Amino acid sequence: MRLTPEQRDQVADQRGEAGPTRRATVSALEEILYEPLPVLDHGFVRVVDYMGDDAAVVQAARVSYGRGTRKVSEDRGLINYLMRHRHTTPFEMCEIKYHVKLPIFVARQWIRHRTANVNEYSARYSILDNEFYVPAPEHLAAQATTNQQGRSEVLEGAAAQRVLDLLRTEAERAYAGYAELLNEDASGATRPGLARELARINLSLGFYTQWYWKTDLHNLMHFLSLRADPHAQYEIRAYAEVMLETLKRWVPMTYAAFLEYRMNAALISATGLAVIRRLLAGDTVEPEATGLSRREWRELMQLLGRPE
């Protein structure tokens, strides 16, 4: 269950409250404020607060007294310029706070992003829910043989069923053990039991945890550039893709610049650039004579839409 009925009521109450403010607000983001946006089988991302908008980036870049906004086209041009030239500090003027429910193995990857403020649900203090991640059949892929960090073909038939059964029964067994060790039964009645901080230690990485995660716009984009990238593991990418949608609602000009100059752009090495210049000049280029490794050559050709 993503949200209990009580949690749903709390979200509805908060969404029902509104008051006048002189601060910048963004109607497209207000529309989804506090709403849990589903991710994976039990997870979600909720925007719970934010500060600033596209105009705040412009305002900081111009160090202006008012909103800093000129013509929309000028603001767009400035934001594109800042993004293109990695003038990043104006983007740090905007902040966003998310509430995220995510499997522990995703949290372990996510927590490596140090430029954020995090407060995680305490499993020393509270009892974890009986919720664990089971991949959807289309994501149940075998280990890739060419890339140690990757996946290859999707498992099917009996092989897929065996994996799903194993994941479920192991997690259910682990939770049953956890529940037995606790000093509280399912109805909430207390009994002698192990401390929560110890009872949890046999739960596996697929169980869900939650946290509040606050960061600024610059570091959010850094996170998204790494985690919405096709090389990121599917499960964290699923969160990043939902957060990309929140970015689009919040700061549409910055989002467009981010896609243009970061997400859909490419970093090319000096040697790679020399290869491109020779190709443009019509030279025949032998991969072995370029100084690029086989892998770099392959990546460059893919980038140029010339797969071998």
Ligand X SMILES: Cc1cc2nc3c(=O)[nH]c(=O)nc-3n(C[C@H](O)[C@H](O)[C@H](O)COP(=O)(O)OP(=O)(O)OC[C@H]3O[C@@H](n4cnc5c(N)ncnc54)[C@H](O)[C@@H]3O)c2cc1C
By beta carbon distance, the residue nearest ligand X is 114
Tokens of 236: 């964290």
Cα–Cα distance, 26 to 12 (Å, whole number): 19
CB of 302 to ligand X, least distance (A): 17
Is position 294 an interface residue for ligand X (rule: CB under 6 A)? Answer: no
C-beta neighbour count of 125 within 10 angstroms: 8
Whether the Cβ atoms of residue 247 and residue 224 lie closer than 8 Å to each other: yes
Q: Does 86 bind ligand X (CB under 6 A)?
A: no
String marking each residue 134-153 x if it binds ligand X according to CB under 6 A:
--------------------
293: alpha, beta or left, given left = phi > 0 and alpha = psi -120 to 50?
beta
Cβ-based nearer residue to ligand X, 200 or 222: 222
Helix and strand numbers (H, E) in the chain are 12, 7
User: Scanning residues 164 to 183, which ones bind ligand X (CB under 6 A)?
Assistant: none
Q: Give yes or no: 227 in active site.
A: yes
d(CA 75, CA 55): 8
- Please say which residue, 73 or 264, places its beta carbon nearer to ligand X: 264
Give the active site residue among 46, 196, 200, 227.
Answer: 227
Based on the shown chain and the rule CB under 6 A, indicate whether residue 122 belongs to the binding site for ligand X.
Answer: no
Question: Which residue in this structure is represented by tokens 């990757």?
Answer: 150
Q: Which one, 128 or 244, has the nearer CB to ligand X?
A: 244
Nearest to ligand X of 30, 92 (CB atom): 92
Q: Provide, rounded to whole angstroms, the least separation between the CB of residue 117 and ligand X.
A: 11
Please state the closest distance from residue 231 (CB atom) to ligand X, in A.
Answer: 5
Tell me how far, at minimum, the Cβ of 236 lies from ligand X, in Å: 8
Is residue 114 a contact point for ligand X (CB under 6 A)? yes
- Of residues 183 through 242, those in contact with ligand X by CB under 6 A are 219, 222, 226, 231-232
Which one, of 120, 117, 119, 121, lies nearest residue 220 by Cα?
117
The residue among 123 and 232 lying less far from ligand X, judged by its C-beta, is 232
Q: 303 CB contacts (<8 Å, ≥6 apart)?
A: 266, 268
Alpha-carbon distance values, 225 to 35, 120, 215, 262, 279 (Å)? 24, 23, 14, 7, 29
- Which residues contact ligand X (rule: CB under 6 A)? 112-115, 219, 222, 226, 231-232
